[in-house]
A and B are shown apart, each in its own frame.
Chain A
Amino acid sequence: MRTADTSKMTFSKIDPGVGLKKALGMTPDKIIGLVSDSGLKGRGGAGFPTDLKWKLAANVEDDLKYVVCNADEGEPGTFKDRVILTSFSDLMFDGMTIGARAIGAAKGIVYLRGEYTYLRSFLENKLSKRRRDGLLGRNIMDTEGFDFDITIRMGAGAYICGEETALIESLEGQRGEPRNRPPFPVNTGFMGHPTIVNNVETFTWISCIATKGAKWFNDIGTEKSTGLKLFSVSGDCKKHGVFEFPMGITLKELLEKVEGTDAKAVQVGGASGRCVPARDFDRTLAYEDIPTGGSIIVIGQNRDMLLVAKNFMEFFVDESCGQCTPCREGNVKLLEGIDLLLQGQCSMHYLRELCSLGESMQMASKCGLGQTSPNAFLSIVENFKDEIMGRTESV
């Protein structure tokens, strides 16, 4: 695997099982306290405080609760979860088990994207071994009364199922259409039971935090964005792969590490993220500045920004679940607008209308997909207007 020197990743220095053992020696309240002290926020990109999610689920009375690991990484430019699943899956399973202890869940589900079907048997074997080693099943690590097991369920090629309520719909045998919230999955999740849905990376950091302590994690990063984060780097830079950086790193620093400093722009957060032009490379990758699930696509000087925008819009037209009108129709309109721009036939007036449509989509769409799908278009229009208007060559 051609990843950035994985030996330098924190994960590689942490033995699986150590954090789990420590956590199982604590009360569920203490575990949530530990997560709370670490300041860990969801690593899928939304940045919801992990401890709060767990606390809400822990406080609901129910005989049956679920821990769901969201391994449906479908954001363009993201592949960090693939590396975790391939190289550090035991840490991830440990994290899920710690989560189960914290909220009192007996069942865990890994929702693995269909594109990663080739990883399934590998992960199934890992789970079988964990069962044999007493890390899953009854009285885990001799913890009286703590029973937990994990099953793997496959996605079937739908980006939207990375949205947690769509993921749950899919698990329940429905079309992957997001639900209205509230109620939230922590109350009414899989089959109506309290469910925590966390990202692969989030669970893995939980293991690290349980091993090395909350203070270790909290001391890294910024005040509002603590700890380390994995970044999936691709595009026009010399070093591709998964890199581990502290939260709050500036784009400039990151580009130096991956040898892509002459970039024209960086697409942060994948198709649903935003396009940051070179003059803003001093901005930081943190929840309070530019939030990201870790997708970094470096765009070189010779790239046509309009084609970049077109690629993203085609993606969203294809992946919109079609449930709500702003997203279903809006993405198609924006794509048509990009084609007009490519042909050099878009008036400034119409471009303004398209931008206003994009803003309406951000407000009116039901879930994160439609709320974020205009981002790339809007930021490219905002930052590269000179490049996209009045074209004379048709592409």
Chain B
Amino acid sequence: MLVSEREQLRANIERQIQDYGNNRSALIPVLQEVQLKYGHVSEYVMQVVADILNIHPVEIYGVASFYSFIGHKQKGRFIIRLCRTISCDMQGKDRVARQLENDLGIRFGETTPDGNFTLEWANCLGMCDQGPAMLVNERIYTQVTPDSVHDILEECRKVFGVHTLQEKEMLCELPTQAK
């Protein structure tokens, strides 16, 4: 990450912590915002947040690693989380999982080489009456069939392919930092 980017990141985090009242309870919302914007919470971010909140970086690591929606490794632009819990299981999530792996060419827990998709399991998404369900980033898909997997992936690719202004901004903000 460039020095100027680091400075900007630090300024952003400082401002967010102020917004949340400058105390420890700001921690998770701030980590969530970083996660949303940069796709992961890097060790550098943990260090910065620790400095501002005046706590040890290990504390931040402890919190960040506890929650499954906060990660310290770079993931794909689209994180696909397929529900594996009982009701979705009974409604055929295994076949959807297999088709996702086939179409993306990766296994669960992996990211496609182009950095577009990460495939993960999720525990109950609260869509048990409409399973199998999966989240793509924050968007929920229900009654997913092996057949519809392709369309959903295409939809994602299309979103990413469209260079609207907003998307361009998002591209610029993606981290250039090595893993």
Contact B70 A79 (CB under 8 A): no
Q: How far is the CA of A319 from the CA of B121 in the complex (A)?
A: 13
**CB of A59 within 8 Å of the partner chain:** no
Contacting pair A75 B124 (CB below 8 A): yes
When the two chains form their complex, are residues A76 and B87 in contact, meaning their CB atoms are under 8 A apart?
A: yes
How many angstroms between the C-alpha atoms of A346 and B175 in the bound complex? 51
A315, B87: Cα distance in complex, Å: 13
Nearest residue (CB) in B for A158 is B67
The smallest beta-carbon distance between A99 and chain B, in angstroms, is 21
Chain A residues within 8 Å of B124, by CB: 74-78, 115, 159, 270, 315
Q: Which of A166-184 touch B at CB < 8 Å?
A: 170-176
- B63 and A173 contacting across the interface, CB-CB below 8 Å: yes
Q: Does B32 contact A (CB under 8 A)?
A: yes
Query: B69: which of A82, A114, A118, A314 is its contact (CB, 8 Å)?
Result: A114
Do B69 and A173 have beta carbons less than 8 Å apart?
no
**In whole angstroms, how far apart are the Cα atoms of A81 and B69 in the complex?**
20
Q: Does A132 contact B (CB under 8 A)?
A: no
Interface residues on A, range: 35 or more
Q: Which residue of B has the minimal Cβ distance to A307?
A: B89
Instruction: Report the separation of the CA atoms of residues A308 and B128 in the bound assembly, to the nearest whole angstrom.
Output: 15
How far apart are the CA atoms of A3 and B126 in the complex, in Å? 13
The stretch from B7-15, B129-137, B163-171 touching chain A is: B129-137
**Which A residues touch B25, using CB under 8 A?**
171-173, 191
User: Given A175-B63, A233-B129, A240-B129: A76 and B28 within 8 A (CB)?
Assistant: no
Contact assessment for A76 and B85 in the assembled complex, using a CB-CB cutoff below 8 Å: yes
Of A76, A157, A172, which one neighbours B68 at CB under 8 angstroms? A157
> Min CB distance, A303 to chain B, in Å?
7
Which of A173, A312, A319 contacts B24 (CB under 8 A)?
Answer: A173
Contact B128 A319 (CB under 8 A): no
Let me know if A176 and B66 touch, CB within 8 A: yes
How distant is A165 from chain B, measured CB to nearest CB, in Å? Answer: 15
Q: Determine if A236 is an interface residue (Cβ-Cβ < 8 Å).
A: yes
Known: A77-B87, A118-B138. A157 touches B69 (CB 8 A): yes
- Interchain CB contact under 8 A, B67 and A82: no
For A308, give its contact among B86, B123, B138 (CB under 8 Å). Answer: B86
**In the complex, what's the smallest C-beta–C-beta distance from B136 to chain A, in angstroms?**
11
The residue from B89, B131, B135, B138 contacting A311, defined by CB atoms under 8 A apart = B89
A191 CB to closest chain B CB (Å) equals 7
B127 touches A (CB below 8 Å): yes
A118 to B46, CA, bound (A): 26
Taking CB atoms, residues of chain B closer than 8 Å to A382 are none
CA distance A75 to B126 in the complex (A): 8
Q: Are B69 and A319 in contact (CB under 8 A)?
A: no
> A303 and B90: CB pair below 8 A?
yes
Q: Top 10 A-B pairs ranked by shortest CB distance?
A: A173-B27, A156-B67, A240-B129, A157-B68, A234-B128, A157-B69, A173-B24, A234-B87, A156-B69, A175-B66
14 contacts between A and B (CB under 8 A): A76-B124, A79-B129, A117-B138, A118-B138, A156-B28, A156-B32, A171-B25, A175-B62, A234-B129, A240-B129, A242-B129, A297-B86, A303-B90, A321-B66
With contacts A118-B138, A118-B139 known, what are 4 further pairs, Cβ within 8 A?
A82-B126, A116-B126, A118-B140, A173-B24
Task: Spell out A's residues near B (CB within 8 Å).
Answer: 2-3, 73-79, 81-82, 113-118, 153-159, 170-176, 191, 232-236, 240-242, 267, 270-271, 295, 297, 299, 303, 308, 311-312, 314-315, 318-319, 321
